[in-house]
Each structure stands twice: as C-alpha cells, then as structure tokens.
Chains A and B, each alone.
Chain A
Amino acid sequence: MKRYDMIIVGAGPAGLSAAIESAKRGMHVIVYDENAKPGGQLFKQIHKFFGSKEHKAKIRGFRIGDELLAEASALGVEVVLNAIVIGLFSEKEVTVKIDEHVEHVKGDTVLIATGASENMVTFPGWTLPGVIGAGAAQTMMNLHGTLPGKRVLMLGSGNVGLVVSFQLMQAGCEVVALADAAPRIGGYGVHASKVSRCGVPFYLSHTIVSADGDDHVTGVTIAEVDKNWQIIKGTEKHFDVDTICLAVGLSPMSKLCDMAGCQMEDNPSKADFVPTVNKYGETSISGIYAAGDVSGIEEASSAMIEGRIAGIAAAAKLGFITEEECNIEIEKQESALEGLRQGMFAPGMRGKIITETDEGVEVSQNLLKKGFVTEEEIERFPGVTHSEGIHPVIECTQNIPCNPCQDACSKHCIKIGSNITALPAVNPEAKCTGCGMCVASCSGQAIFLVNEDCGDGTAEITLPYEFLALPQKGDKGIALNRNGQKICEAEVVNVRTAKAFDHTNLLTMKVPKEFALNARFFKKEA
C-alpha cells in the first residue's frame, strides 16, 4: 500500500493551503479531488473576493484557485483529479476511486477538506427540468459557457444567491426576482445592492408556492409567508420564467469524518453536523484533521487559514518542525482568523438581529428588506461625505471582513484601520485625484466617484461596470437609482478600462446635478 506523510481530501482553498504548508516543511503530500479542475468552490467564482491582501482579497475566485495550485505544484505536491475518496478508516487508511478503479493508500496524517454541499427545498414542481441549484448555474455559465435559461427566479438571499444572481446577469440572463422566506437578506448588503441597482426586485418573507410546467419549467408562483412560515393566501405573484435557481444554504460534507469515527457535534453556529476539532484543526482521532467549510461554513479566506494551521500542525506531529516553531506560526494564523471572525457576519452572530454597526451607526433596514440603502439612510455612514470636486462615495454600510479599498488609494482618502471589519471612512483631509483604483478594487462594487456640481448644472458619477456590451463615450441612456428605477437621462462621458482594473470597467456618466446623490447605474436605452 502506498504511504504518504499527509493525504488531503479536497483541493479547495483549505486543502491546497494545507498542502502548501506541509510540503514546504518537507512532507510528502498527495491531494485528491473528485472534480476535473482543482480549486473547490473557487474555480466557479468570478467575482473579486473579500478579505485582506494577505488572504488574496480583490482577486477573482478562480485566479486564487490557480495561484494556490501553482504554489502547491511548485512544492512537489501531487494533485490527483477525478479522484473521489469513498472510504476513510481510523487507522488513516483511505480508499479512493479514480476513474473506474479503486486504490487504497495510507497516510501518517489525513486532512478532510471536502467543503460543503448545497441544501435543497421542495415545493410542487421542484423536480421539473429547469429547477437547478445555484452551483449548477455557476458550473454551466462559468465553466461551460452555457446559459442556464433566459428568465430566472432566484430563491435565497444569502451570499450565494446574491453573487449568483449577479453572475446570471453578467452572463446575459434576466433575473426577474429574488425571493427568500426569511424576513431579512442573509448575505452582504454590498452584494444585494449591486443586484438591486440593476433593477432586480427582492421579495423577502416570500417562498415558492409552485413551479409550473409539464415537461419543464414555464413559470413560478411565489407568495408571502407569515411568522410561522405559512403561506398567506391572496399574496401570490406569478412570473413567467424558464429557470428557478435554488440557493438555500450549504451543509458541511462531513460524511468521511463520521465514517472514520471522529467525534461529531451538532453546532448551530457552524450551520450543521461537523467534526469536533481542537485549535490545530485535529479531530478526536489523532492525526486526522478537518479544515474549511467541512468543519463549519465560512469563507475561502478562513478556509485557507484553517488549512494552513492543519498543515503546520501535521508537520509538527510528524517531527518535521519542532512544537515550538509550530506554536509560533499557528499563533500568527490564529490572530488573522480572529480578525476575520469579527463583525456582523461572524460565525457567532448567526440568527441575531443587528441594529447598529460596531461604530454605533444605525443599520439600514431598507437594505435588509429591499436590498438597497435609501437616500436618507446613506448619509449617516462614514464613507459618504460631500465636498467640492471629485470624491469617493463609499456605500459600504455593514461590518464585513474586507479592506482592499483602503490599500487601493495611494492618496489615503479611504480609511478602515487595522480592524478589518470596520466601516470604510472617507478622510476629508486627503485629496482625491479621481484615479479610480478604489472603484475597481472594491469587491462589493460599492464605491462611486462623484462630482456633485460640474458648474454647468450637471454632476458626474463614475461607477463600476462589469457587463457587455460595454457602453461607449457619447452613448445616451438612462440613469437608475439604487433601487434600479429610472430617474433621469444620462450621457456616458468616459469609459475606462485598464489591466489594473481587472475587467471592472469604470463608466462615468453625466446627469442633471439634482440626481448626483441618487444616480448609481447606467442603462443604455432610449
């Protein structure tokens, strides 16, 4: 039987990060993944990620996967694809199915980094062709260049539902509505806002009554639910759609841990049934580790750190480094993890109703219910200021673990500070040059450059634009507000594209100056 110092199940951010750390310390490592491509969830993610520079923030997900893979390969890590691990036993024996044959291998340590799988909901018609998971929509669009449908209803307002709704529009689908049975939007406000300003209506406290169609989906009916999740008669709304996309949560894929006999726990703050792990990510069985979404649904940024910790700990366990070295390095990783686990979306905050930010600013209720911050609400946030000439307006209103905007501005116009979940604030002393780096770097597409008064009765607004066809200078159209409603005529006065912007184009439009504080998106039409 082949033997390895470490066998890693799953080539997502957690598994690859662990492979890098352990191989760096001289370990002989193999990684198995059931997919044809490495990167786990990352290879389907085309948006710029949250986090900080150290955790590859503002890099698009699929490129993070590529970077991790290149680093692992350079260190001699063997990554076997199309390889599904079907058995794990307490003696750290692993059974893996590669194509049609089965292999048995033994590890001195094993890391389970299998990530999560999508949850499902049932309703009349849910098995009809045309009802798909959000992950399936991403796979079709981003890997295979195929549109899942023309008109889509999204169920689920968590980050997955919000991000995939935006991706559907980028690929060319129309998202007719986003519904969620919960009374409040579950994902980041900035993700919701970029969907909302494109005109997608949000229906919170709504669920699917039925999917219609004989052989495939031709429509969907949603209705409002009461406090007990019961449908309120008379509130039904019908949409003609060919696709219903489900994004109703993820569950850790912890089957292998259970199979090996690891102690498991039902942990509501971690979203499900997960293996109990100590601070090194080690399960109740010595030498078997778990890291990433499998030990609690979080983010790629935290999955990478957990993976690194497990890799370092395994190296110490097998004597590749001293315990002392191990503890010093793990302490560093832990403080980074601690930093990420602050703010409104921290694991411990699940289910809590938040009324103020850490800074004591009242949160926008409209954002939580409708997906956009109102004109009155936006003024109270530290990223929104008024001054003469061009200046950034940062519509980022929740404590999320993210700070690329601060690093982007060489003029120090934007300040978050050392606490990565703090709200970005505009520094009134610094002078904005209008370079646009902050707009392009913002993972949440929440930064605009505004010149409120150009002196001729007009105002100019620069916004991030990631759709085709890209409007051209001179194009006339309509400005939309944060809610995606048409508010005035607009003319494109500049479109900037640059390598440093990484496919986020900066579109500058001219509007009558009374709309300077409201116009947030451009639509080319008569």
Chain B
Amino acid sequence: MRIQEHPILGTYDRGEIVSFTFDGKVLEGFEGEPIAMALKNAGVMVHRYTKKEHKPRGIFCAIGRCTDCVMIVNGKPNVRTCITPLEAGMEICTQYGVSAEPSNGGEKK
C-alpha cells in the first residue's frame, strides 16, 4: 500500500510508472524504487522458499543485510530486492533454494 500523503514528509518523489513481470505476471511499479517495494505494493509477500524446508521468506531488514528478500532477477539468482532499483521490463521470479533453477511453482520464461 502506497502512502499518498504523509503528515511530516508530504508527498514522495517517485519515478515513472513502469511494467515488470513477477513469475510471468505483468505488474507495475515506480522506476528506481527497490524491487521489493514494487512487489509489496502489488501484494506480493513471498520472495523465495528455503531449500531444505521449503519455508517462505520475504522482506525482513529492508537494508540489504539479511538476504531474506533475494529473488531471481533477469535470470540472476540471489539478488537482494530490497536494495536493487526497479527497471522497466525486469523479469522477477520467486526463488526456490539458492539457484536460478525453476521449481514446481515458479515457471521461468
């Protein structure tokens, strides 16, 4: 959910609206905002599933320290989405385990 107007900060400087895909679905976000923010505002909570126990993980620290939010971005796995700026046309996929291997749910390309 976007904050439209904040009592102290007023309105936020946001980039252009751009499209990207999440597991093949087309979504929109603001260019330059962290990928994780665009996903959060589109209602996506789960960024990856752990390798052994298949447990969901999402945003935790939001500053690039915990690696909970890593995903496959343009084919590259383990990208920290909380600090990686969104670009038009990015292909973002749920990550299963630690590699770019697509798994059951996450269909790649």
- A contact set with B: CB distance below 8 Å: 34-36, 46, 60, 117-118, 127-133, 135-136, 139-142, 144-147, 150, 170-172, 215-216, 466-468, 470, 503
Q: Is the CB of B62 within 8 A of A216?
A: no
Q: Is the CB of B63 within 8 A of A35?
A: yes
Residues of B within 8 Å of A467, CB to CB, are: 7
Residues of A within 8 Å of B62, CB to CB, are: 132-133, 135-136, 139-140
**Chain B residue with minimal CB distance to A147?**
B1
**Chain B residue with minimal CB distance to A170?**
B7
Q: Does B6 contact A (CB under 8 A)?
A: yes
Residues of B within 8 Å of A130, CB to CB, are: 45, 58
Residues of A within 8 Å of B56, CB to CB, are: 128-129, 215-216
Residues of A within 8 Å of B64, CB to CB, are: 34
Q: Is the CB of B60 within 8 A of A133?
A: yes
Q: Is the CB of B33 within 8 A of A135?
A: no
- B contact set with A: CB distance below 8 Å: 1-3, 5-9, 12, 14, 33-34, 37, 40-41, 45-47, 55-65, 68, 82-83
Task: State how many angstroms separate the Cβ of B79 from the closest Cβ of chain A.
Answer: 13
Q: In the complex, A141→B1 CA distance in Å?
A: 10
Q: In the complex, A96→B37 CA distance in Å?
A: 28
Residues of A within 8 Å of B33, CB to CB, are: 144
Residues of B within 8 Å of A146, CB to CB, are: 1-3, 37, 40-41
* Selected contact of A145 from candidates B3, B7, B8, CB within 8 Å: B3
9 closest pairs, A vs B, by CB?
A129-B58, A136-B62, A145-B12, A216-B45, A139-B62, A129-B45, A147-B1, A145-B3, A144-B37
Q: Is the CB of A129 within 8 A of B47?
A: yes
Q: In the complex, A130→B40 CA distance in Å?
A: 10
Q: Is the CB of B3 within 8 A of A172?
A: yes
Q: In the complex, A190→B45 CA distance in Å?
A: 35
Task: State how many angstroms separate the Cβ of B86 from the closest Cβ of chain A.
Answer: 11
A-B contact pairs, 19 of them (CB 8 A): A34-B64, A36-B83, A127-B55, A127-B57, A129-B56, A131-B60, A133-B61, A135-B62, A136-B63, A144-B33, A144-B34, A145-B6, A146-B3, A146-B37, A146-B40, A146-B41, A172-B1, A215-B56, A468-B6
- Add 10 more A-B contacts to A129-B46, A135-B62 (CB < 8 A): A130-B45, A132-B59, A132-B60, A132-B61, A135-B63, A136-B62, A140-B59, A141-B6, A172-B3, A467-B7
